[in-house]
């Protein structure tokens, strides 16, 4: 079969037009993260999904999610053969054929051909495979330029994270040089995986960060088992936006890429660029605290939500320097050791649940009467008043500090 795409094309748009002429249907060309690279002209032969893609310069997130659920994108990431896509009315997607553009074992992008007025024949599907080869050469050049740009971005980001750039004017100039918009509000977020981030996992993370439209990912990088992100959320409810984004990311990593048990953290939310390093340190601090207190901080992601856990290191240092020993807590520990009881744990669970007897009894899996008796014994042995908030807070803090050097 004669190859109608063997000629040299100056631009991707020219290739898209040529493919459209040969196959007689509208064509779009995307990179692997569904950003629009080129598209052919069309008359009234189109659908809402294509129009939204052209206007937004990337495929709408709801369309991407539907294509994942229908198994289209997983199939495109496995084969270099054309894949037929049936219409999905809920997201305005009409019938089309898609093909992946490959370099060795890596997908560089996709070609989409609409089948609204016609169904491509077997011969035309073979032509589409030839078109993928023609597009490949252009995408290789784009890919090389993109890789260099990403390296510059990551170098700049590490300078921000480590405080090597601290002057605000210098920071602003840096953002302009890497063509990243300066955020009005931002936070540093971390996703910590169970294993080292390999090249394939990094590509999967990049895919999620570049296709999401929930927040704006300004800069990102990886550090062994962590992906570190500078995120610009919506200004109205930034914390809620960031938490929802992390929940979505964890879910997608699990459902799409089988990456389990990802731990997350959110640094402080700031408006001044000079606080990027601070936000990063706070995000690391959240992970460290969640390591030491996994049960108590299971539902906490943000530094702002940590409460007393923000100050435990300072409290621990003061206790250590003063040589202070909590008399009441010591008595309970000695009693537990001598009588093989668990009064310290009982008191901690009781205080963890804000002195709610019902919730604490349920957590301890004991009857309320049993808990009430234990609390009575705790008051007697430790010589504390559990109605006194100062007594309770002191005991609570010292129990948490005690855990820091177990």
Residue 175 inside a domain? The answer is: no
Report the CATH number that the domain containing residue 108 is assigned in CATH: 3.30.450.40
Report the CATH number that the domain containing residue 330 is assigned in CATH: 1.10.10.2840
Nearest by Cα to 218 from 164, 166, 299, 279: 279
Confidence (pLDDT) at 226 = 93
Q: Is the pLDDT at 138 greater than 70, yes or no?
A: yes
Residue 299 and residue 192 in one domain: yes
pLDDT confidence tier of residue 84, bands split at 50, 70 and 90: very high
Residue 73 inside a domain? The answer is: yes
Residue 294 and residue 319 in one domain: no
**219 has which bridge partners?**
230
Q: Which of 139, 166, 192 is the last residue of a domain?
A: 139
Residue 267 and residue 333 in one domain: no
Confidence (pLDDT) at 403 = 80
Looking at per-residue pLDDT, the higher value among 3 and 266 belongs to 266
Residue 4 inside a domain? The answer is: no
Report the CATH number that the domain containing residue 282 is assigned in CATH: 3.30.70.100
Q: Is the pLDDT at 275 greater than 90, yes or no?
A: yes
Residue 325 and residue 278 in one domain: no
Residue 238 and residue 329 in one domain: no
> Across the chain, what does the average pLDDT equal?
89
Rounded percentage of the chain residues whose pLDDT exceeds 70: 99
pLDDT tens-digit series, residues 168-197: 899 999 999 999 999 999 999 999 999 889
Residue 68 inside a domain? The answer is: yes
Residue 204 inside a domain? The answer is: yes
Looking at per-residue pLDDT, the higher value among 190 and 212 belongs to 190
Residue 397 inside a domain? The answer is: yes
Confidence (pLDDT) at 114 = 92
pLDDT tens-digit series, residues 357-388: 999 999 999 999 999 999 999 999 999 999 99
Confidence (pLDDT) at 12 = 87
Domain that holds residue 64: 12-139
User: What contacts 243, CB < 8 A, 6 or more positions away?
Assistant: 266, 301, 302
- What is the value of pTM for the model shown? 0.74
Q: Is the pLDDT at 31 greater than 70, yes or no?
A: yes
Residue 71 and residue 120 in one domain: yes
Confidence (pLDDT) at 311 = 82
Residue 295 and residue 380 in one domain: no
CA–CA separation, 46 and 40 (whole Å) = 11
Residue 66 inside a domain? The answer is: yes
The mean pLDDT value for 127-152 works out to 84
Torsion of CA 205, 209, 213, 218, to 10 degrees: 170
Q: Which of 309, 340, 355 is the last residue of a domain?
A: 309
Confidence (pLDDT) at 42 = 67
How crowded is residue 115: how many other Cβ atoms within 10 Å of its Cβ? Answer: 19
Residue that the structure tokens 């310069």 belong to: 57
Residue 274 and residue 323 in one domain: no
Q: Which of 139, 174, 200 is the last residue of a domain?
A: 139
Looking at per-residue pLDDT, the higher value among 213 and 114 belongs to 114
Residue 248 and residue 299 in one domain: yes
Confidence (pLDDT) at 299 = 82
Confidence (pLDDT) at 231 = 95
Residue 281 and residue 371 in one domain: no
Token reading at 331: 């008595």
For the chain, how many structural domains are there in total?
A: 3
Helix axis angle, 343-352 relative to 368-382, nearest 10°?
110
Q: Is the pLDDT at 41 greater than 90, yes or no?
A: no
Q: Is the pLDDT at 406 greater than 70, yes or no?
A: no
Q: Is the pLDDT at 134 greater than 60, yes or no?
A: yes
Residue 135 and residue 205 in one domain: no
Q: Is the pLDDT at 11 greater than 90, yes or no?
A: no
Confidence (pLDDT) at 308 = 83
Residue 193 and residue 98 in one domain: no
CA–CA separation, 383 and 337 (whole Å) = 18
pLDDT confidence tier of residue 405, bands split at 50, 70 and 90: low
pLDDT tens-digit series, residues 284-317: 999 988 888 888 888 888 998 888 888 888 888 8
pLDDT tens-digit series, residues 240-255: 999 999 999 999 999 9
Residue 174 inside a domain? The answer is: no
């Amino acid at each position: 079969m004669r190859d109608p795409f063997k000629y040299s094309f100056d631009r991707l748009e020219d290739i898209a037009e040529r493919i459209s002429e040969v196959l007689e249907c509208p064509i779009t060309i995307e990179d692997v993260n569904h950003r629009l690279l080129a598209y052919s002209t069309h008359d009234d032969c189109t659908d809402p999904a294509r129009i939204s893609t052209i206007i937004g310069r990337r495929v709408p997130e709801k369309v991407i999610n539907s294509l994942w659920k229908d198994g289209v994108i997983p199939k495109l990431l496995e084969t270099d053969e054309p894949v037929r896509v049936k219409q999905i009315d809920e997201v305005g997607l009409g019938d089309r054929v898609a093909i992946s553009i490959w370099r060795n074992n890596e997908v560089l992008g996709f070609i989409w051909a609409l089948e609204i007025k016609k169904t491509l024949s077997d011969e035309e599907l073979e032509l589409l495979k030839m078109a993928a080869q023609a597009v490949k050469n252009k995408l290789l050049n784009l890919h090389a330029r993109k890789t260099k740009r990403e390296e510059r971005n990551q170098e700049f980001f590490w300078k921000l994270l480590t405080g090597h750039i601290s002057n605000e004017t210098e920071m602003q100039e840096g953002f302009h040089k890497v063509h990243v918009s300066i955020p009005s509000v931002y936070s540093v977020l971390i996703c910590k995986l169970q294993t080292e981030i390999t090249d394939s996992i990094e590509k999967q993370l990049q895919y999620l960060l570049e296709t999401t439209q929930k927040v704006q990912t300004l800069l990102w990088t990886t550090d062994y088992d962590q992906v570190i992100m500078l995120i610009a959320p919506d200004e109205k409810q930034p914390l809620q936006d960031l938490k929802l984004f992390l929940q979505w990311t964890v879910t997608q990593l699990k459902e799409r890429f089988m990456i389990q048990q990802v731990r997350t953290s959110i640094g402080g939310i700031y408006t001044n660029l000079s606080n990027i390093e601070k936000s990063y340190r706070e995000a690391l601090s959240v992970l460290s605290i969640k390591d030491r207190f996994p049960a108590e901080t299971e539902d906490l992601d943000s530094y702002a939500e940590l409460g007393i856990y923000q100050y435990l290191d300072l409290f621990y240092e003061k206790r250590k320097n003063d040589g202070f020993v909590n008399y009441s807590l010591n008595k309970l520990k000695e009693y537990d050791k001598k009588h093989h009881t668990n009064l310290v744990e009982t008191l901690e669970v009781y205080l963890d649940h804000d002195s709610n007897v019902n919730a604490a009894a349920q957590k301890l899996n004991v009857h309320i009467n049993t808990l009430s008796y234990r609390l009575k014994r705790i008051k007697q042995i430790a010589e504390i008043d559990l109605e006194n908030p100062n007594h309770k807070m002191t005991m609570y803090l010292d129990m948490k500090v005690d855990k820091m050097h177990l």
